[in-house]
Amino acid sequence: MSPTNAFSPFFVALFVATATLAQTLAAGEPSASSILPAQPDALQKWQEMRFGMFIHWGPVSLTGREIGWSRGKPTPREEYDNLYKRFNPAQFSAEEWVSLAKQTGMKYMVLTSKHHDGFCLWDSQYTDYDIASTPFGRDVIKELTDECKRQGIAFGPYYSILDWYQPDYGESRGVGPGYELDRQPDIRKHVDYVKNQLQELNQKYGPFHVFWFDGEWESPWTHEMGVDLNNFCRRLQPDVLINNRVDKGRRGMHGMFQPGEFAGDYGTPEQRVGTFDRSVPWETCMTICRQWAWKPNDELKSLQQCLQVLVLTAGGDGNLLLNVGPMPDGRIEPRQADRLREMGAWLQENGESIYGTRGGPFEPGKWGASTCKGKTIYLHVLNWPGDRLTLPGIPAKITSAQLLGGGSASVEQSDDSIRVEVSPENRGEIDTVVVLQVDRDAVMIPPVDAP
Ligand code: JFZ
């Protein structure tokens, strides 16, 4: 290239433009195109599963207090950080846990591989604060992932980014046992630790259906780190899903976010049913009792509460990740297991109105919720307002109506309303599922508000 050409206005402009772009990227400006997205197939398969088991477990179960949060108060740090030396859940059986998930009608499982307290439920080469250092010694993640593969349950690790045990994490709660760091905490070292562990998990126990992150809200974690970690996971396993707690986009316990602007494939409403949303995938996480980790005599939700949550979630177009906290002996508490099996029995009868459906077209309300699949709409009537239920009209013709599992339902349709009647003796105790056939693809019917 001749000197004249190199200084031509065109090359000068190109040079300036490139330099500006490079500067922008180096400064870590949010750049939507830099977030590697989920594979649509993987997301759809996950949505079709609709129902999963969340498990919060670790040495903390010995105290009956909340995982992570009870470290320091009320359990002194010294004591909390040494619980693992007594952790010996001799009755742990991966076979029983996974069988229970199956009997419940759950299609996937998410387990706290590492919660905020930093303890690791697998044998990690990056720390000794792990299951291999307990008297138990068996690798919980190994046994569970093997069993999940055997029984056809998808598995994903919950992984807390914040780590109050690792000194390099650097948040004020984050001083580990005996650590007197003679230097400043270094978040870059912590990020390396996180990435090393995720790679290790994936290599030894993968593939996973999801990396379920948490603990993104504290100040050491930034948006740039979130995008970077998202892309790291995606490169590890291109078809994996990543929840939105990888990045800073989550708006409080509502759990929703702006995809594209922030990393993550789905929203994570916590301890509440998410609001109807077909454009951003979401998953409600909720405890079957009140605490995430096991607590003796914790208040257990009734079957009615559990099924209402499941139905309202599916009707809002979301997934449900229902949490159990196993006991220090390794068993899931029998009364919790019984409740789950009751849900499973209901799903045996009514599962076609949940799995593989989308929420709507009638948005959830006091009356209940609806789901749909193909040319079928499932009305889940949770509260009959009287003799009949009146719903707003839809631009589709209802060609038949009956109860799921048999039994008659009568429907009168006009342009602006639908009146549904089921005689009281034919109504379900908790949920009456009315199956409507319509003359077009029900998912294409625009969602309507149904208070
Ligand atoms: C988080 C965890 O802290 C909790 O232990 C559990 O694992 C849940 C699934 O996710 O929940 C939070 C997160 C943040 C707050 C409360 C609960 N907060 O900032 O008050």
- Structural domain spans, the chain: 36-353, 358-444
- For residue 334, the number of C-alpha atoms closer than 13 Å in the C-beta half-sphere is 0
| pTM (2 d.p.) | 0.92
Q: Quick one: which of 283, 356, 295 has its CA closest to 325?
A: 295
In DSSP terms, 323 is beta-bridged to 54, 287
Average pLDDT, the chain: 92
The arrangement of secondary structure in 358-444, i.e. its CATH architecture, is Sandwich (2.60)
Indicate the top mutation candidate among 244, 271, 292, 323 to test ligand 1's pocket, ranked by most ligand atoms within 8 A of CB.
292
What is the C-alpha end-to-end distance of the chain, expressed in Å? Answer: 71
Q: Indicate whether residue 292 lines ligand 1 (CB < 6 A).
A: yes
The tokens of 168 are what? 């390099």
Atom of ligand 1 nearest to the CA of 323: 9
pLDDT single digits (tens) 189-215: 999 999 999 999 999 999 999 999 999
Indicate the top mutation candidate among 270, 271, 283 to test ligand 1's pocket, ranked by most ligand atoms within 8 A of CB.
270
Q: Indicate whether residue 270 lines ligand 1 (CB < 6 A).
A: yes
In DSSP terms, 214 is beta-bridged to 160
Task: Name which residue sits closest to atom 19 of ligand 1, judged by CA.
Answer: 217
- For residue 339, the number of C-alpha atoms closer than 13 Å in the C-beta half-sphere is 19
Per-residue pLDDT of the chain (451 residues; tens, 9 = 90+): 333 343 344 433 443 333 333 333 444 444 555 999 999 999 999 999 999 999 999 999 999 999 999 999 999 999 999 999 999 999 999 999 999 999 999 999 999 999 999 999 999 999 999 999 999 999 999 999 999 999 999 999 999 999 999 989 987 665 666 565 778 889 999 999 999 999 999 999 999 999 999 999 998 999 999 999 999 999 999 999 999 999 999 988 889 999 999 999 999 999 999 999 999 999 999 999 999 999 999 999 999 999 999 999 999 999 999 999 999 999 999 999 999 999 999 999 999 999 999 999 999 999 999 999 999 999 999 999 999 999 999 999 999 999 998 999 999 999 999 999 999 999 999 999 999 999 999 999 999 999 8
| Assigned CATH for 36-353 | 3.20.20.80
Q: Indicate whether residue 285 lines ligand 1 (CB < 6 A).
A: yes
The tokens of 346 are what? 């209901």
Q: How many angstroms separate the CA atoms of 244 and 241, rounded?
A: 10
* Helices H / strands E in the chain, number of each: 10, 15
Distance of alpha carbon 448 from its chain centroid, rounded?
A: 26
